Structure 1
């Protein structure tokens, strides 16, 4: 079933105007390109700002359709923010707190070499394995040991018309008993899949055909959200659509949105922690649509439905 749906999706993208997708590695990570266009850079090596806020396992820069950089890293207002990332304030093993992957404190991402393949001429698949570690969690000899194994699959689709699709799915498997993660310990509960983008003054948010106004706490909308504004290199219209495949029973999703000096977040699990199983991985699935000009609600809905399986 999943194979047939993927074939249908690739047929849907068969009108692609893009060129060959490629991955090139460096000592810092890897760059995905389409022809001579940069798509994104994935940071696998630990990076810091004068020794502060060490982080790895995130995407930056993320490029627009015209090559304009859409994301920020080490912004002055929140230097722990970084491009496209997924992280949590609360990380526990039993009652012991073992770092804060959101704030980049007492946390280590050990990223193993990526595996990639061209699944089809219009899609590049990258598989990553990342071991979660902390200097606060060691064996009886004092050696730092992993406590979560994270497997991540990124699928990059060739440009079609005025947009490109990037899929991200991650599976978390505990290597110790009673591992728990959670968002910020306040009413906002932010944590999980996040996007730190450039925010021009005319930035706006919508879901379906309705505008969405940011609030201090999370707002409810459809499981996809359109971010639009003068995000192209020449100041013209462009944007990003964030799509979540973890809606609630009403088919809705919670969103933490900010018009300035912050990130956009799909909070999971919220303020209360959830257990990460040591036998059945916790799965989280998201999709981005990078576009130039505009993208209709009908097109976004069609792309969302194609990603449901």
Structure 2
């Protein structure tokens, strides 16, 4: 089944008009927090046939007793997205009404900027991440085989510190956040799309399939190809779609939250086998050079650290380290629907590569994965970048937000 995170042409709305108690109620929406407290959690519901009445004539109001407050919302495909602003205690229910009424367009909190070579995502004036769709050259004097597009760098912490690294010495093929497959069998030949110096394959940006910005979310959908080099020719082995979506964290300036979804399908009827190997695919990360064994820490959902996290399974991994501005970190959660979940980890040992960090959720670390022509294969991850630290309780709340979002029920009042 194709990626559920896929979204296309949005309508962007922010409600600023005075709300009328006599406005026609189209739907009453209840949101149950469940067993976990919620903090600035994004929720959504299908909007039925709302486009028939025109999205510019819709308002969303939160109802608390006799008080109604306007709520910014965003239409992504046929879904209505908004944020449960602030803290929603466990066991509580919040009530909203969708009503007819005049609304006006407003500035976007979550922004996408096309820099003619990269997509830059921002929350307000703060940079969040950059996706590079133009070919980036390696450092001067380094083999041009390391030319690459289709990766994320920089990734910023909320205080503006860059926490990813590209083209580190000795590993020129490491580029921030990327996910090529390493050990594969394509048309009877072993093909490596990760280690570019082997000149067996690469990953290349192909095109843009969607972009969005608004009060709730910003992001983009892009297409990439895994290209095999064979006999002096290029053959596309895999088509890949990335959907990157950053979510509004409200007034909390210490965190960014964004989703990463990759969907693969075979470009050739021969299919491809992703062979068992210690790293490749999934979610790959090279952190800033300053994060070494002496200046950083690793913790997984199973209590593993830098010393023993490698080759263990985890629902999430947290990496923290010192920066020029203090301490920052990144939390990566892998979705339970991913292949061979909870997925195994590749984490460099403390005593290798100057103590620097390379981390990879590696779906095929324990077993091979056969991809068949005509089918779609999705991998999903949620990322939180933060300053200072996250407690285990906060992390588990983020994880529950991701895998068990609040329950949304809608009572429609007639047809719209």
Q: Superposition pairs for residues 234-245 of structure 1, below 5 Å?
A: 234=325, 236-245=326-335
Corresponding residue for residue 128 of structure 1: 222
CA shift for structure 1 position 171: 0.8
The 8 Å contact of residues 182 and 271 in structure 1, kept in 2 or not, is answered as no
Cα distance in 2 for residues equivalent to 1:61 and 1:13: 29
Matched, 1:156 2:227: no
CA distance in 2, matches of 1:54, 1:26: 19
Alignment counterpart, residue 258 of structure 2, candidates 166, 189, 208: 166
Deviations 1:83-141 (A, max 9, x none): 0111121233231234x2211233241420251123x5121131111122233278xxx
Aligned equivalents of 1:79 and 1:278: distance in 2?
Answer: 32
Rg comparison, structure with higher value: 2
Q: Please say if residues 170 and 283 of structure 1, whose CA atoms lie closer than 8 Å, have aligned partners that are also in contact.
A: yes
- Normalised TM-score (structure 2): 0.63
Q: TM-score, normalised by structure 1?
A: 0.83
CA distance in 2, matches of 1:251, 1:273: 13
CA deviation profile, 1:49-91 (whole Å, cap 9, x unmatched): 2413122211001011111110000001311111011112123
Q: Distance in 1 between matches of 2:359 and 2:339?
A: 23
Partner of residue 182 from structure 2, selected from 76, 82, 89 = 89
1 CA distance for matches of 2:271 and 2:44?
A: 39
SS at match of 2:130: strand
**1:194, 1:264 within 8 Å by CA — same for their partners in 2?**
yes
Distance in 1 separating the partners of 2:340 and 2:219: 32
**Compared CA separation, residues 25 and 190, structure 1 to 2 (3 A):** same
Q: Is the 8 A contact 1:21 1:122 kept in 2?
A: yes
8 A contact 2:166–2:176 mirrored in 1: yes
1:236-258 Cα deviation digits (max 9, x unpaired): 22211111114799974422223
SS state at 1:47 partner: coil
Aligned to 1:68: 161
Gaps of 5+ in 1: none
Q: How many residues align?
A: 293
CA RMSD of aligned residues (A): 3.0
Q: 1:41 aligns with which of 130, 153, 168?
A: 130
The 3 A distance-change label for structure 1 pair 211 and 269 is closer
Taking the aligned partners of 2:371 and 2:341, their CA distance within structure 1 comes to: 24
- What CA distance in whole angstroms lies between the structure 2 residues aligned with 1:278 and 1:262? 35
- In the TM superposition, what is the alpha-carbon distance from 1:45 to its structure 2 partner? 1.9
1:107 corresponds to 2:202: yes
Deviation at 1:11?
5.4
Residue 181 of structure 1 corresponds to 274
User: What does residue 22 of structure 1 align with?
Assistant: 111
Question: 1:1-32: per-residue Cα shift (whole Å, max 9, x none)?
Answer: x898832896555349xx71211223322111
In structure 2, the CA distance between the partners of 1:243 and 1:271, relative to structure 1 (3 Å rule), is same
Q: 1:149-199 CA distances to partner (integer Å, 9 max, x unpaired)?
A: 111111111234221111111110002123122364xxxx11121110021
